Structures are given as C-alpha cells and as structure tokens.
Amino acid sequence: MYKKSAETLKTPKTSAIWLNFLGSMNLAITLLLALSVASIIGTVLQQNQPYTDYVIKFGPFWFEVFQQLGLYDVYSASWFLLILFFLVVSTSTCVYRNAPGMLREMREYRQSIQLETLQKMPNSVSWQLNRSLDEVQQVAQQILPHNGFSARTTVTDSFRLVAGMKGAGSRLGYVFTHVAIVLICIGGLIDGNAILKAREMLGQIVPETENIPANQVPMISRLGLDNLSFRGSVSVPEGSQSNVLFINYKEGYLVQGLPFSIEVKDFRIEHYASGQPKSFESDLLLHDSRLAEPLEQTISVNHPLIYDGYSIYQASFSDGGSSIELQVWPLSGGGNQQQKLNVTVGNDVQVNLAGQPWVLETSDFRLFNINPSQDPAKKFQNVGPSVQFKMRDKTGAAKEFMNYMLPIERAGAYYYLSGVRSSPAEEFRYLYIPMDEAGGLGRFNTFLRLLNDQDVLQKVVAKQGILDQPLPTKDSAQFNQAMLKLVALFMQEGIDGVMSQVDKNVPVEKREGVAQLYVRVLQQILGAVYVEVLADEGVDISLGIDEKKAAFFDDASAAIGAITRYGSPVYFQLVNFKHKQASGLQIAKAPGKLLVYPGCAMLILGVFLMFYAPQQRLWLRLQETEQEVSVVFAGHAERNGLDFADQFRQIQAQFERVLTT
C-alpha cells in the first residue's frame, strides 16, 4: 500500500496560515471596499450633529438603528477603527513578505534566463550575423543605454548575454503604495479617537449628558492635555475667553482642556440685502504663559489660526448673552397686570404667573430671521428679531416657544407670531395674535380681559334679543347661566372643548343643530363683548363696524380659541434688546496628519511609478557558430504591452541598421 511521506502529511504551522491570510490580496480588497462604503456613508450623512437633529430627520426607529451602527460618527466608530487596524496589519504583512523580494528584483537583470524562454516571448527576433562576438556586444552596449536601458553582460564558455533593464522604480512604486496605506491608516487610527474608545471601554471616561456649566462637569467626563487628538467646539461671547471646548460623544459630551485660553475680542458679520449671512470673522487673542504677549489674529471661514499643533476654525456664530426686554401679556385669568421682564439669554428666571411658579429658560436670540418672501419679486425676506425660550412648570414639563418681535404680514393683515412645540422633534405651531390699528396688542388684550370679566359677560347676556330663537329653557336665569358657562367653556378649552361637550351630552340626531346653535351664541356674545371694547376705545359704531375691524374680530376670536393649546398663561412680547454675539469656534488637534500627509505624497509617487514608469527588460543572447554569430533579441514589459512592442521594433530597427548593413 502506498504511504505518504512525512513531508506530505506535514500540516502548515498556524503562524504560517495566519501570515498567508493577513497578507492575502482578498482580505486587503475586502477591507478597502468596506472602507469605501463607510466613507460614502460618512460623506452623504452629515456627521457629529446633535442627536435631536437626527431624530427629526429619520424618526425614532431609524434613529436608534443608525445610532447602534455608529453612523453619526462613522470615522470614530469602533467598527471603522477595527477595519483600519486590520488594514494596517494586512498591508504591513504584505510589505513584510513581498518588499524584500521586490527590492532584490530591482537589482536583478535576470542574466540566467534560458534560450527557450527568450524565443517564446511575444517580442523576440533572431539574426545570423557575419560579425564578431565582440563587435555585436559592443553595439548592444551602445544601443541599450541610448534607449534608456542600463545593461549588464554575462560571459560564458558557449554564449554571451547582454541584459538591459529600465523602470526598476516600478517595483519601488509597489512598496511606496503599500507603505503609504499603512501610514494613512495609522494616522486615521490616531485621529479617529481609537485611544478614546479604549479608555471608554476601560471605564476611565464617561460622557456627561446633563447641560451644566463646564466647571461643574465631573472629572470622569473631562479630558486632559495628554489627549492625542480631538475635534470639538466652543461658543465664546465677545469680550470673553475660554480654555476648554466640548466634544460631542455618543449621547453626551466630553470637556477637553486646552493649554491656552482663547479670547474673542470682536465678532463681525456681514449680510446680504435679504438678511442672509454673507461672511463672518473673529478677532482672537490667544493667551499662553509660554508667550511673551498674547497672540492676536483674525480668523474667518477657511482661514484658521494654527498654533502649536492646534487648528482654530471659525465655524459658526450664536447669541452671546443678549439682554432682552419682554412685555408680559396675560392670556388667562382675566388679569390686567402688565409687567416688563428683563432677562439675559442663557440665564433662567423664576417667575410667578397666574398664581403658579414657572421657570423661563431663554436659549437664543436671533437678530435676523430669513423666511420665504410673499413678494414674487423676492425669494427671501428678513422678518426681524426673535427670541427662543422654554416655559417649565412646577412639574418640570416644558414647552419651547419662539416669539417674533415685529408683526408679520399674512393675507394683508399683521400678526404677532409665537411658535410653540413640545419637543425639538416637532415643528413649531404658531399662534397668530392680530395687531390693532395702533400697532400693538392693546385691543386684543382688552378683548381677552373683558371675556374673562364676569360682570361684563352678565351685562352682555342679559340684553334682550341676543338670539333669534330662545334656548330650550323657560327660565331666563337658567338661560343666562347657560350662556355664561358656554363662554367659560370656550375660554378654557376652545371651540374643540365646546364640540366635545356637545358630543358628550347631546343625542346624535340633535348634535348638528345644537352645535350650530352654540356657535351662533358664542359669535353673538363675543361680538357683543367686542362692541364694548370698541366703545371703550371711543370708536363710533353707530354706522356699524368697518371691514378691517370685523377682520380683527375674526382673527382675535380664532387666537383666543387657540390659547388653550398654547401652553403658557402669558404671551411674552419682545420689545427691546441689546445684542451680544458669540463666535462659534471649532478646535482640532490632529497629529495623525503628520503621517497622513507624507502617506498621501508617497501614495501619489507610488502610483506614478507603477503606472507611468513600468519595468521593461531587453536581452541579447550572442552565440558564436562556425562562421557567424547567432543573435536572439527579446524583450518583456509588465505594463503597456502595445507601447512596448512599438518601442521594441524601433530598437530592433536600430540593431538591424547597424549590424546588417
């Protein structure tokens, strides 16, 4: 029976298997494809945005899916860094295995090539020359260098071989390309927060999730000066300085310390005629104990300040703590207490409204608001300043508001707008409060106050002829009381509350008629109260109400009906402000670029050597016969075979012109 030898039965070592796998072309191509897909995702999907923006864009379900995949910070995701790591290992293994052989091949002229191999090459020709060996050899040693080939001659007892080579750097191109990939990937690992990921896995850092001042952030959420690389942002008001920045990390943030402090001396912004930002720049003072005096420089978009390995970019702008004055208009309770409130953007204010404690949290002030224009001749229009804030009740629940300072035109009428939403994932829903003829809210406030005044309402409903037909009751007192309750229900729950009461208490077959009756009653009572408002203003209504005042009544009634959904017992009217801006700076430290930039240069050089300086070889085998010299001329190129064939024929013609004439 046939028995396998010990060498046949011998299995490869585990280390050899792993070496072959890590250095295989299949693994490298797979990793490169994975990186390409990840880079496409990182380019298409805007990175490192607040999570609320992603929730609004994708919805809760896909937000969770993309978050688990790490798509909001692709280049720092664990799986992306793992791909980079294995690509470094794979490419380094390939260089380790193949670079020595390639470097040797650069110096080898293949002088041991066989006659049969030369004759089988596509570019091969033979001559029988009536010349001496020395003469043919001398011609070959002149023509090959003339065409850019370095030549080496081998002399044996039976033949001579002149070997020429050009483009030896092509092999060096392979080495440069692979080493460049290693350098770029290592730079990516350094700047991709690989060390930060490792520290998080070891429990050394935990991102902070609460919105608290930087000096109150615990040490476990702070990064020291030894952090190799980072990219974060900080908003610095004019005249202030900061020595920390904030890094968005997963669902929270980390505070990164700086070895210097940055002061924003002045911030400037230019606008187009429409009010849209045109350009903005900051005058910075960099304070460092290592400097004899502060470093002063102006930065703008795409023109950063580079200092000690830190790049400071002009990224954005925001409010820097503007002082604003608010007029407080009560919306419930029938009060007429108007007061003014002075607040600073970014500070929280405790207020007592309608007998309940509230917290006013101002978050932003905008000097310009660019909206689509109703004028066909203009694409955008500036609707003026606005203030954004939250109203938080005693239970901690909050709604967010955005109030515009200037009235907004809509269908020929002007309104004071207040947007409200329950969470950042929602769009603002707007309350339109009509502007009176004096340009303010006095008439609306008086109308609202009288609707909450029981004495005024009782006087109105007591008037005869308020209905064309009596309500289904014979008791006049009950009739008046029913109308008062109807108005109170409308004031508390709006028209939806009235309709809900009808659905709850009225049989189905009578609901439509009762609902129409209730609406008529409300309209007549509200109209009667509105007449009282105009009378208080001294308006002569003996000839009726003009169209403009009638439109105001309709708008005011609609706004009052929507107050129940507004979520605040008062309306804050922005009446004055002192604007203070803040410069949004992005600061990056990326030591990996010291590897990436040389790596990119090496990659370009390597690709050039591989594709534009291919290795080419020529051989002339000279063998002396009885009266002649047998010459075999052959050539081979790794790339651009057609071009090399033309070049081979040109060199062949040179030999024939010299040796056969």
Look up residue 478 and give its two tokens. 């009950």
In this prediction, residue 46 carries a pLDDT of 84
CA angle 53/40/254 to nearest 5° reads 45
Domains of the chain: 13-104+175-191 (no CATH), 111-167+614-659 (3.30.310.80), 205-228+230-319+582-589 (no CATH), 323-437+574-580 (no CATH), 445-570 (no CATH)
More confident residue, 217 or 483: 217
From 220-224, 244-248, 656-660, the region with the lowest mean pLDDT = 656-660
Q: How many CB atoms lie within 10 A of CB 66?
A: 16
In this prediction, residue 444 carries a pLDDT of 92
Q: Of 358, 351, 352, 407, nearest to 383 (Cα)?
A: 407
Rounded Cα distance between 477 and 227, Å, is 80
Asked whether the predicted pLDDT for residue 489 surpasses 90, the reply is no
On the CB side of 303, CA atoms within 13 Å amount to 10
With beta carbons less than 8 A apart as the criterion, state whether 135 and 589 touch: no
Rounded Cα distance between 343 and 575, Å, is 12
| Run of H or E including 236 | strand 230-237
The tens digit of pLDDT for each residue in 192-208 reads: 777 787 888 888 899 99
- Give mean pLDDT, residues 429-442: 92
On the CB side of 251, CA atoms within 13 Å amount to 8
**Does the predicted model carry a pTM greater than 0.75?**
no
**E-assigned strands of 592-651?**
616-624, 629-637
- Give mean pLDDT, residues 442-463: 84
Query: Where does 452-507 have alpha helices with state H?
Result: 454-461, 476-505
From 70-74, 342-346, 616-620, the region with the lowest mean pLDDT = 70-74
Asked whether the predicted pLDDT for residue 337 surpasses 70, the reply is no
Handedness of CA 109, 113, 116, 121 (dihedral sign): negative
DSSP string, 498-561: HHHHHHHHS-HHHHHHHHHHHHHHHHHHHHHHHHHHHHHHT---TT---HHHHHHHHHHHHHHH
More confident residue, 350 or 540: 350
More confident residue, 299 or 489: 299
Helices (H) and strands (E) counted in the chain, each on its own, are: 16, 26
In this prediction, residue 468 carries a pLDDT of 47
Rounded Cα distance between 281 and 298, Å, is 7
From 7-11, 25-29, 522-526, the region with the lowest mean pLDDT = 7-11
Q: How many CB atoms lie within 10 A of CB 42?
A: 18
The band of 464, judged by pLDDT with boundaries at 50, 70 and 90, is very low
The tens digit of pLDDT for each residue in 509-557 reads: 787 887 888 888 888 888 888 888 888 888 877 777 888 889 999 999 9
From 51-55, 171-175, 311-315, 341-345, the region with the lowest mean pLDDT = 51-55
From 128-137, 287-296, 494-503, the region with the lowest mean pLDDT = 494-503
- Give mean pLDDT, residues 598-626: 89
The band of 471, judged by pLDDT with boundaries at 50, 70 and 90, is very low
From 380-394, 401-415, 517-531, 587-601, the region with the lowest mean pLDDT = 517-531
Asked whether the predicted pLDDT for residue 51 surpasses 80, the reply is no
Rounded Cα distance between 174 and 128, Å, is 40
